[in-house]
Amino acid sequence: MKILGIESSCDETAAAIIKNGNTILSNVIISQIDIHASYGGVIPEIAARSHIEVINPIINQALSQANLVIQDVDAIAVTHTPGLVGSLLIGTLAARTLAIINNIPFYPVHHLKSHIYANWISGHQPEFPLIAAVISGGHTQIIYMNRHDHFEIIGTTRDDAIGECFDKIAKILGLPYPGGPAIAKAAEKGNSTRYQLPIPKVNGLDFSFSGLKTAVLRAVQKELNLPITTPSYELQKHLSEQQITDFAASFQATAVKIIIQKLKKATQKYPVRSILLAGGVSANQLLREELQKNFAENYQAFYPQPNLSTDNGAMVASAAYYSIQAGEKPSDPYELDISPRSTIK
């Protein structure tokens, strides 16, 4: 079964063809990072306009790289929630139109589901039951799965997402957008023990990242002997190279520790066979190493290939495949709703 997966929920326009759930025939991604970097974050209107320019060429490229024409495709899958409304509209409209005019079965897919299934297209066969840490720019959740296409949220952030925290702290330090890769790179030269940052005290399996963000802000102000009223955008020009790399390393180590601690807690409550990372922050090298160090002995500990951690169309097609195997019926492309927010079901 060949599925065309289309993704446009944020600032990547992407299309891919997946065979039987986990074989990638093509995977085309155009990132808008260069466009948004000069603004320090994603501008929704610009994102939507950029998706319009490239969506059709990208779908055509995904088909031609797989040596297929649209009529060869057995199903079309597209991200319909959550994400930026204007961005979701472009991908879903392209997908619906193709499904209607070619009479191809149509499957809307939840974005977080796709991120989890990025593991199945990365050469892994995770065994159930499992927990997945879905850690991205918009989400931080621990999800329990006892079988395909069945999701139970067992932990979630009460405020900021972890990727958002990386992005905001990068801004304070004067590092470019997106903050995650920039902080990881700066941290390579930094001392992760120089600044002591607090681990948030949140009961159960929930997370909180806004306190950590404020703790970094206060630590930077204190380090520079500046009052706490100093705006965050004023700080970067006073920071030395060494201070930037040490703050990056200290923050990254704390963020990784928070995720690992919660995953350990989750395994005490839920007896699982596999532990997965998913979402943009799962590209983080330190987190990958710590996952292996802490869990590989007793669990299958997996994460997606680096280019499959962040948004792509292949994971959308893979998620749709396993939903179809679990009995999901096609949706009416005339009836599709998009939604900027929604929980995984």
Binding site for ligand KG4 (CB under 6 A): 10, 136-138, 163, 166-167, 178-181, 184, 279-281, 283-284, 310-311
Select from Zn ion, ligand KG4, none the partner in contact with residue 179, using the beta carbon and a kind-dependent cut-off of 5 to 8 Å.
ligand KG4
CB of residue 249 vs ligand KG4: minimum separation in angstroms?
Answer: 13
Per-residue burial over 85-119, b = 16 or more CB atoms within 10 Å of its CB, e = otherwise: ebbbbbbbbbbbebbeeeebbbbbbbbbbbbbbbb
- Chain centroid offset of residue 203 CA: 24
Select from ligand KG4, Zn ion, none the partner in contact with residue 79, using the beta carbon and a kind-dependent cut-off of 5 to 8 Å.
none
What is the identity of the amino acid at 8?
S
Restricting to residues 26-85, name those near Zn ion by CB under 5 A: none
CB of residue 277 vs Zn ion: minimum separation in angstroms?
Answer: 13
CB of residue 196 vs Zn ion: minimum separation in angstroms?
Answer: 31
Asked if residue 7 binds Zn ion (CB under 5 A), the reply is no
The answer to whether 16 and 316 are in contact (CB under 8 A) is yes
Q: Across the strands, what pairs with 128?
A: none
Task: Tell me how crowded residue 298 is: count the other CB atoms within 10 A of its CB.
Answer: 10
Asked if residue 311 binds Zn ion (CB under 5 A), the reply is yes
CB of residue 289 vs ligand KG4: minimum separation in angstroms?
Answer: 12
Asked if residue 136 binds Zn ion (CB under 5 A), the reply is yes
CB of residue 311 vs ligand KG4: minimum separation in angstroms?
Answer: 4
The answer to whether 193 and 145 are in contact (CB under 8 A) is no
Nearest alpha carbon to residue 114 among 68, 145, 159, 78:
78
Select from Zn ion, ligand KG4, none the partner in contact with residue 239, using the beta carbon and a kind-dependent cut-off of 5 to 8 Å.
none
Asked if residue 11 binds Zn ion (CB under 5 A), the reply is no
Instruction: Specify the residue, 184 or 276, whose C-beta has the smaller distance to ligand KG4.
Output: 184
What is the identity of the amino acid at 169?
I
Alpha carbon dihedral 96, 20, 74, 8, in 10-degree steps, equals 20
Select from Zn ion, ligand KG4, none the partner in contact with residue 284, using the beta carbon and a kind-dependent cut-off of 5 to 8 Å.
ligand KG4
Please give the angle made by the CA atoms of 249, 251 and 253, to the nearest 5 degrees: 65
CB of residue 291 vs Zn ion: minimum separation in angstroms?
Answer: 19
Residues contributing to the site for Zn ion (CB under 5 A): 136, 311
